[in-house]
Structure 1
Amino acid sequence: MSLDPDYELFVHVVDSGSLSAAGRALGISPAMVSKRLARLEERLGVRLVHRTTRRLALTEPGARFHADLAAILAGVREAEARVTGVRNAPSGPLRVSAPTSFGRLHIAPHLHRFIDAYPAVALEFDLSDDFIDLLDARIDLAIRIAPEIAPGLVAHRLGGSRRVLCAAPGYVERHGAPETIASLGQHRLLAATGQMPWRLVNGTRRATVDRASAVTTNSSEIVRELALTGVGIALRSLWDVGEALESGALVRVLADWEGSADVGIYAVHPRSPTVLPAVTAFVGFLREVLAEGKF
């Protein structure tokens, strides 16, 4: 069984991200790819892809059409594997996104294990603190650290993410340690864009802190460095500042309070009738790696 050749070409264009890359994969010129794509759009009577000089962007109908076609192709591959008795081994491109600090500290040092185990997978690993649209960015799997996951995504919970209030000893010496949640209002607080308000718990007690950060930044790594250099108080995950707390480079403040426990570490991917074997393999790899860490 095979799809219309222009359908398969459309999937190649989306998955590869450009007309030239799709042409190389199919052995035809970019001009021919463009001509066939235009022919498909004319036949369907709908624009599937916005073409710009920098990138391709799926239209809403194009995104739905690609998801349907990708599911059909994956189903065909699974059916063939069942008939032949051959397991569909992980292979092909795999695009993964992770938060900057978490990816650098806890995944990148172990990626060689995944690469060695699955040499047929062409891994692309991106770091970003933004919650990017997986379909628009053509991301197969993303790591999210959040209290909840959007319903359109499949979420695999990998672990919790304890967060504590901390500051450099020098900051505490100069400004004193806050004694109550209310007294945090007298201190410089540090948070990346989107990380406020802080929702804190102390047993059954709950508190919300919503203040502007002393420094505006979109980077959690900048927040960590500002805390280490004595600029203010931050709410940081133990996976991020555990070693600094152990060494004394940071100290906890208001130690009875922590970030709410509903925040978890998740591997997420778009909802689809079938899941790429490479995605399943990477989720398993993440479970092994995080089981070895301190969270």
Structure 2
Amino acid sequence: MARLPDFEAWAVFAVVADTLSFARAAEELAVSKATVSKAVSRLELRLGARLFHRTSRRLSLTEAGRTARDDAAGLLAAGEAAEARARDASGAPRGRVRLAAPMSFGVAHLAPVLPDFLAAYPEVSVDLHLSDERVDLVGGGFDLGLRIAALPDSSLRVRRLCGVRRSLVATPAYLDGHGRPAQPEDLKAHACLGYAYLPTPDRWHFSNAADETVSIVPEGPLRANNADALAPALRAGLGLAVQPDFTIWEDLKSGRLERVMPDWQPPPIALNLVMPPGLPRPARVSALIGFLEKAFSEAPWAQPETAGQAPLPSPAEAQALT
């Protein structure tokens, strides 16, 4: 029987070739520098070729080292993937999930539910990145992203969690003092508070039950790239704003804010989970997907499914899709 490849030496060589440092490779692998050096020497002996040029100041790959580098990286990646699949199949989800979400929504609604997830899955950790800017999931190495929009077609896989109603709102005091607009054209006489990360921040779009659509150019004293920054001005009665229900549902319930122009609605949006393409999903990612589906489909501001929308998958279907 032929000798088995020295997989450990190949893996060590892959890390040294990537870092071009025996010391940094030893630190990454949590072993001694001597162990790293012996593994590389062992591989060189088996191959009958030197893999590195070594000087007191510099380490560089030889021609043989450059040829072997990609094969070594592939062996290391395949081994790590095999171990991850075996861990997922053998028990509880474990490992890190990288999740991106909008800033205001993440602070107000996502962060408060994560402790329950982490308690239910103690071997899973979440690396949460909050930003109102669109994040490149693939380039940023994210497993999942939450996006609140009517999403365009893309290579990303999308899971709709729930509908989100958007409404034009203002304080009763503002409306008592400035009048209640009945149709979009009336907004030209009102102070409008704008959100900069809308798809068309310089135009507000409305439609009615007859499928008529109207666009207006909002003008007012404040526009911000974070929804929370609009809240104080809105609650102080400085103008009207188009807001999603998850930011204002408590204000509406208490009467601090009032829906305006109920016959005209902004375009509907949804809370979506987006994922890079490719299967299968690690168990830790599937676990977080299932948890967020339940948490947000039952939120007090979530809109139920309506005719013409694809229903949310059942738990069994969700597991199959992930």
Cα displacement (A) at 1:110:
1.6
Q: Which residue of 1 aligns with 2:104?
A: 101
- Indicate how the Cα distance of structure 1 residues 265 and 39 shifts in structure 2: closer, same or farther if over 3 A, else same: farther
Contact 2:191–2:219 under 8 Å retained in 1: no
Cα displacement (A) at 1:87:
3.6
Find out whether 1:43 has 2:66 as its counterpart: yes
- Indicate how the Cα distance of structure 1 residues 268 and 24 shifts in structure 2: closer, same or farther if over 3 A, else same: farther
Aligned with 1:277 (options 278, 283, 294): 283
State the alpha-carbon separation in 2 of the partners of residues 228 and 241 from structure 1.
10
Please say which of residues 168-177 and 73-82 is displaced more in the overlay: 73-82
Cα displacement (A) at 1:5:
2.4
Cα distance per residue 1:110-159 (max 9 Å; x no partner): 21111011111121223221111123333221100011145121111101
SS at match of 2:180: coil
SS at match of 1:191: strand
Unaligned runs of 5+ in 1: 14-19, 45-65
5 Å matches for 1:34-73?
43=66
Find out whether 1:156 has 2:159 as its counterpart: yes
State the alpha-carbon separation in 2 of the partners of residues 238 and 136 from structure 1.
31
Q: Which residue of 2 aligns with 1:191?
A: 194
Unaligned runs of 5+ in 2: 37-53, 68-72, 303-322
Q: Which residue of 2 aligns with 1:242?
A: 249
Contact 2:183–2:264 under 8 Å retained in 1: no
- Indicate how the Cα distance of structure 1 residues 177 and 193 shifts in structure 2: closer, same or farther if over 3 A, else same: same
Alignment-mate amino acid for residue 221 of structure 1:
D
Cα distance per residue 1:174-218 (max 9 Å; x no partner): 322212211112212122212223332211222223435632321
Cα distance per residue 1:50-76 (max 9 Å; x no partner): xxxxxxxxxxxxxxxx9x999956753
Q: State the TM-score, normalized to the length of structure 1.
A: 0.74
SS at match of 1:148: coil
Count of residue pairs brought into register by the alignment: 261
- Indicate how the Cα distance of structure 1 residues 249 and 275 shifts in structure 2: closer, same or farther if over 3 A, else same: same
Name the % identity: 29
SS at match of 1:285: helix
State the alpha-carbon separation in 2 of the partners of residues 69 and 206 from structure 1.
57
Alignment-mate amino acid for residue 170 of structure 2:
A
Q: Which residue of 1 aligns with 2:265?
A: 258
Give RMSD over aligned pairs.
Answer: 3.9
Find out whether 1:116 has 2:139 as its counterpart: no
Aligned with 2:215 (options 196, 203, 208): 208
Aligned with 2:94 (options 81, 85, 91): 91
